[in-house]
Structure 1
Amino acid sequence: MSDLATRLEQAIFDHADLNWSKAATLLDLSPQAATKWKKGQISRSTLQRLADLTRVNYSWLATGEGEMTSKPSIGELQDKIDAIMDKEQGQLVKKDVLSAANPVPVISWVAAGAWSETNTVTVDDAFDWLPRPYNLSKDGFALQVRGESMLPEFRPNDYIFVEPAFPVWDLKNGDLVVVQESDKNEATFKQLVLGETTEDMYLKPLNPDWHEQKMLPKSEWVLVGKVVGKWVKY
C-alpha cells in the first residue's frame, strides 16, 4: 500500500469512522471508485472533497506534511457557534438555555465506546462542536445519530446530547441510553426497558418496524450515558 493510500485509510477508517464504500457513496461516487483509492490513485478534486468529508487537512492528506487535523482556536469555535445560533439551525433545545462559552464535543461512536473504559473525552476526540444545553455537565458530549432504528423521534444525522455523569440506579423505564457491550468497540443508542429484575432488562428501538425489537446483551453492558436532549440542523 502506498503512503497516500495509507493516509487515505487513516482519514476514512480511523478519523471519520467510515469505510471505503461508504466514503465513496457520501461523495456521490460508486463504491468501486474506492478500489483505486486503495492503490493511491485519486484525482486532486476528489482528494480535496475527501479531505473535507473526513475533516483532515488537505495538505497532510496529499503530501503527508504537517498535521493531520487543525485544532480550532477558541475564537474560531466561538464564531462557529455564534453562526449556528444566529441562523437558528438547532431548534430542539431552546436558545436561551444554550451556552456557547463551553461547547460540547461531537465524538464518534467508537470514541463513545472507549469512554466507558477511559472515563474521559478529550478535545482530540471531537470532530465538531455544538452549544451546550443547561442540563449537560462539563463531561457531557454529543453523538451523531446513525441508521433508522430510532425513527421517528431521531433521524440519521440528528445529534444527541449524552450525560455520562449519571448514576445507574436513577435510570427509569423508558429512558434513552447509550451503552457499550464489552465485546464490541463502539456504543449503541436505544430505549431502556426495565423488568422486575436485572435479568428482565433489555434495550429496544423506537422504530416499530425495526427488525430487532428486543435486544438482549450478548456480553456485559456498560452504561456510557443517558440521552438528555437532541439537536437538529436544517
Structure 2
Amino acid sequence: MRHEDIWRAIDTLAAEHGLSVSALARKAGLDPTSFNLSKRRGADGKFRWPSTESIAKILAATTTRMEDFSALITGARVIADTRPRARTRIPLIGMAQAGTEGFFDDGGYPAGAGWDEIELPATLDANAYALSISGSSMEPLYREGDIIVVSPAAPVRVGDRVVARTAAGAVMAKQLVRRTASRIELLSLNPAFPELRFAPADLLWMHRIIWASQ
C-alpha cells in the first residue's frame, strides 16, 4: 500500500459524493484543510499518512463501507453502489453545441440557457452534464448519437476518458494518455485521427466521462 493510493482514494470518495476534499473534511467534522495537498507531504517532501481517525470520520460521514474504501485504495475508480442515486435528470447538449459560447462558465460548469434535460443513470455531482457525441474520432467506443455523462468533480487520471475544452473553444471527447507539467496528450480511439498535444495553458478544463450509453 502506498501513500498516494490512500490520498487518491480520499479524492475519489469526495468526488463520488459531489464534494471537494475540503467539503468532505468539513462534512466529517475535520479541519477543512485536513486533506489539502500541503498536508500530504512533510517539510522533508515525504508523503504523510492520513490518520486512521480522519479516515474513520469521512467513512462515517459518507456512510461508506471500509471494504468499498479499500477497493478505491487498490485501484477501483468508483464506489460500487446499487442504491438510488441523488440525480436522475442531467442537462444535455450536443457536442457540436458545446464548442460555442454560452453553455459553460469559466470553470467548465453548465451555464446559460439552451440545455435540454435527459433522464439517465445519475451522479451525485451537482454539476454533472451530458453530451451527445458527434463525429467519429472515438469510434468504436463512442459513436454518433451516443450519450456520455461527464463529472467536473471526478478526479482525472492518465488512462481516463475525458471531455476537454481548448482555449480556442473546441470541445472534444478523448482519452488522457500523458499529463506532465509541460504537456498534455489526448488520444482519439479511432486510429484515423492523430494524437493531440497541448501545453496545459491551452486547455481551459478537462472533465472525466463517468458513463456512456451503448
TM-score by length of 2: 0.51
Kindly indicate whether residue 143 of structure 2 is the aligned counterpart of residue 155 of structure 1: yes
- Secondary structure (helix, strand or coil) at the match of 2:106 reads helix
Task: Please give the secondary structure, in 2, of the residue aligned with 1:115.
Answer: coil
State the alpha-carbon separation in 1 of the partners of residues 120 and 171 from structure 2.
23
Q: Secondary structure at the match of 1:193?
A: strand
User: Structure 1 counterpart of 2:93, which letter?
Assistant: I
* Residues 216-225 or 149-158, more deviating: 216-225
Higher helix share: 1
SS of corresponding position for 2:193: coil
Residue type of the partner of 1:215? L
- Stretches of structure 1 that go unaligned for 5 or more consecutive residues are 1-95
Question: Which residue matches 2:89?
Answer: 103
- The alpha-carbon distance between structure 1 residues 140 and 99, as it changes in their structure 2 partners (threshold 3 A), is same
* Amino acid in the other structure paired with 1:149: S
Q: What whole-Å deviation, never above 9, does each CA across 1:90-118 have from its counterpart, x for those lacking one?
A: xxxxxx66659641111233447642526
Corresponding residue number in structure 2 for 1:55? none
Q: 1:171 to 1:122 in 2, by over 3 A?
A: closer
In the alignment, which residue of structure 2 is the partner of 1:62? none
- In structure 2, the residue matched to 1:143 is 131
Cα displacement string for residues 106-132 of structure 1 (whole angstroms, at most 9, x for unaligned residues): 123344764252654258332341224
Q: Deviations over 1:37-86 (max 9, x none)?
A: xxxxxxxxxxxxxxxxxxxxxxxxxxxxxxxxxxxxxxxxxxxxxxxxxx
| Distance 1:104-1:132 versus aligned 2 partners, 3 A rule | farther
Q: Contact 2:88 / 2:119 at 8 angstroms: preserved in 1?
A: no
Kept in 2, the 8 Å contact 1:145–1:156? The answer is: yes
Q: Structure 2: how far apart are the matches of 1:102 and 1:207? A: 31
Query: How far apart are the structure 2 equivalents of 1:229 and 1:146?
Result: 16
Corresponding residue SS for 1:199: coil
User: What residue is the counterpart of 1:189 in the other structure?
Assistant: 173
From 191, 202, 207, the counterpart of 1:220: 202
Percent of residue pairs bearing the same amino acid type? 23
Q: Which whole-Å CA distance do the structure 1 matches of 2:145 and 2:84 have between them?
A: 20
**Mapped contact 2:149–2:212 kept (Cα < 8 A):** yes
Q: Partner residue of 1:207?
A: 190
Give the residue type in structure 1 aligned to 2:94: S
* Separation (CA, whole Å) in 2 of partners of 1:116 and 1:124: 12
**Cα RMSD after superposing both structures:** 3.1
Matched, 1:117 2:106: yes
Cα distance in structure 2, aligned partners of 1:181 and 1:108 = 17
Determine if the alignment matches structure 1 residue 172 to structure 2 residue 157.
yes
The Cα of 1:223 is off from its aligned counterpart by 1.8
Q: Is the 8 A contact 2:133 2:144 kept in 1?
A: yes
Is the Cα–Cα contact under 8 Å of residues 177 and 223 in structure 1 kept in the other structure? Answer: no
- Matched letter for residue 223 of structure 1: W
Structure 2 unaligned residues grouped into runs of 5+: 1-81
**Superposition deviation, residue 145 in structure 1:** 0.8
Tell me the CA shift for residue 140 of structure 1.
Answer: 0.3
- For residues 125 and 100 of structure 1, do their structure 2 counterparts lie closer, same or farther at Cα, with a shift above 3 Å needed? farther
